[in-house]
Amino acid sequence: MLTLYHAPQSRSGSIVWLLEELGASYELKFVDIGGAGGAPEEYRAIHPHKKVPAVVHDGVTITERAAICAYLADVFPGAGLAPPIGDRRRGPYLSWLVYNDAVIDPVLGAKFLGWQYDKRGVSFGAFDDMVENLERTLSRTPYLTGDDFTAADLLVAGDVNIAVRFTKLIPATPAISGFLTRTQSREAFKRAMVKGRAR
């Protein structure tokens, strides 16, 4: 049994997309995060900070998007979303999964909120360095680790799409725009956009 705890128009949309890519059978449980105190207090039993997403698979709870992607892509290897152990792309793939949650998401949040900080004093570094890294990587290859789409592309595309098309924090360069077009033309993405909004 696989259950995803999800809130529409939140970071958990990436995991709806992941599950559609995997072709997995899953239950979608909507979490109301819009109240004054965020999600209901009883949801803390699933996620300690009452955040989405969280996945429960056969009684095991997995939180944090990078961990969920790594776990589920390995549990469903037939979908081909994770380079296997021993593949030269495995290390870069894992690096991009973690980079999204540890660098891309925090620097986008800091930029959006107008925070001023010394990049040497924070683990996630500078916004401009992150954008340059994306641009350099996607100018060389169609996807983050080469020619094949992985769960890392899905996760990064979710955050970058918001930053390019909605908040306008990241410039829509040909390399970055092309990446978004390639990833979001996938049928699983289209299905996820419908399912993630449904209640």
Look up the CATH number of domain 90-186.
1.20.1050.10
CATH 3.90.226.10 fits 2-80+188-195, yes or no: no
Sheet order of strands, 60-63 included? 27-30, 2-6, 54-57, 60-63
pLDDT truncated to tens, each residue of the chain (199 aa)? 999 999 999 999 999 999 999 999 999 999 999 888 899 999 999 999 999 999 999 999 999 999 999 999 999 999 999 999 999 999 999 999 999 999 999 999 999 999 998 888 899 999 999 999 999 999 999 999 999 999 999 999 999 999 999 999 999 999 999 999 999 999 999 999 999 886 5
Residue boundaries of the structural domains of the chain:
2-80+188-195, 90-186
CA triple 85-6-3, angle to 5 deg: 60
Tally of CA atoms within 13 A in the half-sphere of 85 that contains its CB: 2
Burial state string for 92-113 with b = 16 or more CB within 10 A and e = fewer than 16 = bbbebbbbbbebbbbbbebbee
* AA letter at 118: D
Q: pTM here?
A: 0.94
